[in-house]
Amino acid sequence: MIIAEIAQAHDGSLGNAHAFIDALADTGVDAVKFQTHIAEAESSELEPFRVKFSKQDATRFDYWKRMEFTPEQWQGIRDHCTEVGLKFISSPFSNAAVDLLEQVGVDAIKIGSGEISNLLMLERIAKTGKPIILSSGMSDFEELEKTLDFLKHYPVQVSLLQCTTAYPTSPDQWGLNVIGILKEKFQIPVGFSDHSGNIFACLAAASLGAEIFEFHVVFDKRQFGPDTVASITIDQTKVLVQGIKEIKRALANPIEKSEVSKYSELKRIFGKSLAVNKSLKKGTLLRFEDLESKKPGDQGIPASNYQSVIGKALTCDVQKWDFLKPDYLQSVQ
């Protein structure tokens, strides 16, 4: 599954939210993901994180408040996703948000890495029966194991994303090695949540067997928003989706390197046979300096056998650029 995360890139504008859905419907992604905020339920004016990023909001609480949509607006967003063939996924940050998402019919629920140990909310989510996608960004293996053990008591599908909580992440922070570790350790679908701001990390993750891909999107890298620096554009999304699909196709079709019979005609056409680079008289002893290799590869002596002709005598005259034939040569006693 390829998930484009809109998150708060809409900046509280319902029109922008719908514009993102239409734009992403043409990129080949499978789903869009929002974040569902209900400020009073999830936060307070004491929340300090990234307060100064905005010239519009005095506090982080004010920002979350501005990011809210009404239940009716969320229903419209969900219905729009269905109309254009995209799954509607969102990250709730309170039980109240979970209730809202269940009401509008969310297809799956993403757990942000800051909520991985919020067992109160996780129980509420698990009771919905919706598929759960866990982000591992702030968690060690012990925390992940505890959460996954907790969720085993509920009949829900659970997947896990390797993630690094840094905006943007540099290549030395991607943690691509963790993908294989998570797959082996937990035996559930494992993917990659990207905050690099480019397409390379997800492509690398695809080559390492990631099954789910999530990345932030914006219309333009110059637009306002706390996640813009860690996002890719709609146009980049098209390229990324194509790349992921082609990599997955390649991995699903391993080749047998020892089987090259289908190239026999090409090898004949592009192969090289031994020739001479000057006219030579009968009896001349061939030297390395007399030899050339020319296409095609079925004209007497393969170029790979050049050492076998050096020091042998010509049995006839040959003209410049003539191919050498086995019967043109004899060993010197």
Is the same domain home to 221 and 315?
A: no
Please report which confidence band the pLDDT of residue 132 belongs to, taking 50, 70 and 90 as the band edges: very high
88: CATH: 3.20.20.70
- Of all helices (H) and strands (E), which one includes residue 194? strand 190-194
Q: What is the CATH classification number for the domain harbouring 273?
A: 3.90.1210.10
Q: What is the pLDDT of residue 124?
A: 97
Domain termination residue (choose one: 252, 278, 305): 252
Verify cis geometry, omega within 30 degrees of 0, for the bond prior to 71: no
Q: What is d(CA 90, CA 70) in angstroms, rounded to the nearest whole number? A: 15
Percent of the chain past pLDDT 70, that is, above it, reads 98
Q: Are residues 277 and 237 in the same domain?
A: no
Over residues 310-321, the pLDDT tens digits come to: 999 999 999 999
Q: Which of residues 252, 276, 308 is at a domain's end?
A: 252
Predicted TM-score (pTM) of the model is: 0.84
* Domain assignment of residue 63, given as a range: 2-252
- Which tokens hold the place of 57? 């909001």
Confidence of residue 62 (pLDDT cuts 50, 70, 90): confident
Question: Residue 49: its pLDDT value, please?
Answer: 66
> Any alpha helices (H) in 219-333, and if so which ranges?
234-252, 264-270
Q: Please provide the DSSP assignment of 82-124 as one string.
A: HHTT-EEEEEESSHHHHHHHHHHT-SEEEE-GGGTT-HHHHHH
Task: With a cut of 70, say whether residue 175 has pLDDT above it.
Answer: yes
Tell me the one-letter amino acid at 71.
Answer: P
Same domain for 139 and 275? no
Query: pLDDT (tens digit, 9 = 90+) per residue, 191-202?
Result: 999 999 999 999
Same domain, 190 and 282: no
Residues 232 and 277 in one domain: no
**Within this chain, do residues 152 and 271 fall inside the same structural domain, yes or no?**
no
Verify that 208 and 311 share a domain, yes or no.
Answer: no
pLDDT tens, position by position, 83-108 = 999 999 999 999 999 999 999 999 99
Total domains in the chain come to 2
170 three-class SS: coil
Q: Are residue 282 and residue 141 in the same domain, yes or no?
A: no
Taking a C-beta distance cutoff of 8 angstroms, is the pair 121, 115 a contact?
yes
Task: Indicate if 247 and 265 belong to the same structural domain.
Answer: no
pLDDT at 267: 84
Per-residue pLDDT band for 27 (boundaries 50, 70, 90) equals very high
Q: How far apart are CA 33 and CA 109, in angstroms?
A: 9
Pairing state between β 273-276 and 291-294: antiparallel
Same domain, 225 and 273: no
Residue 278 and residue 275: Cα distance in Å, rounded?
A: 9
CB environment 83-112: b (16+ within 10 A), e (fewer): eeebbbbbbbbbbbbbebbbebebbbbbbb
Residues 231 and 265 in one domain: no
pLDDT of residue 156: 96
Tell me the pLDDT tens digit for each residue of 218-271: 999 998 888 899 999 999 999 999 999 999 999 999 988 888 788 888 888 899
Domain endpoint, select from 226, 252, 278 = 252
Question: 215 and 304 share a domain?
Answer: no
Alpha carbon distance 42, 53 (integer Å):
19
- Residue 161's pLDDT is what? 96
